[in-house]
Each structure stands twice: as C-alpha cells, then as structure tokens.
C-alpha cells in the first residue's frame, strides 16, 4: 500500500474484532509517528496506551457519566458554537449515514444513545489511545498534534490495523486524569480506537463523501 492509497482508504472504524493488539505493535506505530513535524520541534504529544483491566475500568466510568447526563467538560472548544450552513449540512449527512448503516430510526432515541455510548468504550477495540497536551501550549501545537494523529492512523494501516479518532473520549477529563493519574495541567485532547476491523459490520461499510478539490482551492499564477 502506498501513501496515497493509505490516505484515501483510511476511514473511521466503529466495530472491531475480538483480537489482541500487542504493545509491540503499538510501540512500532508510535515510533513511526514520533517523526511527525511540530513547530520548533516542540513534539507536544503525550500518549496513554490503555488496554485490559484499566480499559474496562475507565470505560465503565465514562459510560456511567454519559448515562447520568453529566455535562461534557472538554478542555477546549472543538466544534463551532454557531454552525455555518455548509458545515452544518456535512455534519447532518455524516450522522444520517451512520444511523442508516445501523438501521437506527431517527425517533429511536434509546438506540441512538446506546450507539453514542459505544464511543466511551472506544467501540470495544482492544486498545484505547488517549492524547494529552500541556495546557500552556497554544493553537499551533494543536495543528502539530493533528499531523501526529494522522501519522498514527496511517502507520496503523500499514500493520493491518484500523482506527477511529474520537473527540468524545475527551468529554470527561476529570475521570480520565484521576484514573490514569495525569496532572490537571494536561488537557485531554482526544482518543483513538485501535484494533482489527470487523469488515462484516454494517457500520464499517459506508463512506462519507469528500468535496471536490475545485470547491476549496484557488489558483494564482
């Protein structure tokens, strides 16, 4: 698989096989991703690799907070407060495709909530990666982090593994920080589910559309 194929074939996987991923595999992925660029070589990433009993404990706490309707406490603003129509439409279409793939009706709030709760289990992937950034860092380091996360996802593909980047895993940072013993000056940025894709699962067999290059590019000569 070449780089272009990896970029275009990567997709968010929401159903995984019950198949172990070794820590050696995870370390190989991180060894490759650590070469991602960052402004003045700050390398602002801090990674928690979570599996086994710790993952079970953490995901149970996160799910409990969700079902208790605990307000999200994300340490930064991910989405816009006021959505412009084009972004709002893409967001709507993304959710529509997900629930159609799962055959969940719009009015079935219980099934929708159960599907959202799966976020906090990293969709039952064997590995949950959580990413932290020092609260002293600014917007540029968030840009650096995006390149690091993409590197992880592409390196995982080379090993036959699938991923799903997850902002939802940053919604309850107090639970995460206390469970994993991270200090309060570390922002929980996001997570990634990592494992072997269940290719038979309907939720993995749709693809969100991408805009044509001509819609977001201007040329000057």
CA atoms within 13 A on the CB side of 93: 12
16 strand-pairing partners: 197
Domain ranges of the chain: 3-78+120-207
**Model-level pTM?**
0.96
pLDDT given at position 76:
96
Residue 187 bridge partners (DSSP) = 133
- Determine whether domain 3-78+120-207 maps to CATH 3.30.420.40: no
User: Which residues of the chain fall short of a pLDDT of 70?
Assistant: none
The answer to whether 174 and 73 are in contact (CB under 8 A) is yes
Neighbours of 208 (CB within 10 A): 11
Given a contact cutoff of 8 angstroms between Cβ atoms, the answer to whether 121 and 63 are in contact is: yes
> Following DSSP, what letter does each residue of 156-196 receive, concatenated?
HHHTT-EEEEESGGGS-HHHHHHHHT--TTEEEEEEEEEE-
> What pLDDT score does 13 carry?
98
As a whole number of Å, the CA-based R_g of the chain is 18
Residue 25 CA to residue 154 CA, distance in Å, equals 13
**CB 22 within 8 Å of CB 52:** no
Tell me how far apart the alpha carbons of residues 24 and 112 are, in angstroms, rounded to a whole number.
36
pLDDT for res 1: 84
pLDDT in tens, 96-145: 999 999 999 989 999 999 999 999 999 999 999 999 999 999 999 999 99
Calpha distance 48→24 (Å, rounded): 14
């Amino acid at each position: 698989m070449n780089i272009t194929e990896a970029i275009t074939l990567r997709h968010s996987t929401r159903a995984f096989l019950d198949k172990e991923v070794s820590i050696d595999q995870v370390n190989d992925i991180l060894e490759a991703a650590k070469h991602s660029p960052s402004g003045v070589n700050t390398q602002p990433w801090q990674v928690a690799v979570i599996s086994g009993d710790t993952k079970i404990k953490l995901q149970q706490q996160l799910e409990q907070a969700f079902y208790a309707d605990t307000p999200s406490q994300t340490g930064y603003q991910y989405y816009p407060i006021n959505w412009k129509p084009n972004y709002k439409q893409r967001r709507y279409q993304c959710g529509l495709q997900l629930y159609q793939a799962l055959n969940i009706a719009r009015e079935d709030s219980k099934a929708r909530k159960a599907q959202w709760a799966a976020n906090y289990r990293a969709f039952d992937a064997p590995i949950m990666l959580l990413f932290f950034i020092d609260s002293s860092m600014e917007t540029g380091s968030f840009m650096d982090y995006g390149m690091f996360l993409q590197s992880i996802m592409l390196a995982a593909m080379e090993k036959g593994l699938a991923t799903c980047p997850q902002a939802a895993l940053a919604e309850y940072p107090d639970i995460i920080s206390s469970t994993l013993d991270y200090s309060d000056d570390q922002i929980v940025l996001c997570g990634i589910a990592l494992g072997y894709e269940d290719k038979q699962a309907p939720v993995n067999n749709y693809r969100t559309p991408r805009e044509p290059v001509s819609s977001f590019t201007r040329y000057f000569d």
